[in-house]
Amino acid sequence: MERLKPLGFDWGGPGPIYRELRSLENAGLVASAWSAPRAGPVPRVYELTDEGRKSLDRCAGNVVELSGLLNQFLGRHRSL
């Protein structure tokens, strides 16, 4: 949760994050498992599945495409 804050994600607590992780797991985009036993609470570890990685790659491609469109728009806007 702390690693997400610098990226602009602050949902006010862990509840929304865990709901989203469950949703992603139900969709087959992430898999989870309990970490190795150690002192204190045992955390659940989440990782992307192959399908999750493909989906993330598609999203990144969409962002690149959108970035290009926005740059075209801004260029046209500046020339007005």
41 and 2 inside one domain: yes
pLDDT at 42: 84
Structural domain including 22 reads 1-48
Domain count, the chain: 2
Same domain for 42 and 63? no
Q: What sign has the CA pseudo-torsion 51, 52, 56, 62?
A: positive
Each of the 80 residues of the chain gets a pLDDT tens digit; together they read 788 889 888 888 889 989 999 999 999 999 999 988 778 888 889 999 999 999 999 999 999 999 999 999 999 999 99
Do 42 and 17 reside in the same domain of the chain?
Answer: yes
Find all residues with CB under 8 Å of 17, minimum gap 6, and list them.
Answer: 1, 4, 11
**Cβ within 8 Å of residue 29, ≥6 positions away:** 48, 49, 51, 52, 55
Residues 2, 13: one domain? yes
Q: Do residue 43 and residue 54 come from a single domain?
A: no
Q: Tell whether 29 and 55 lie within a shared domain.
A: no
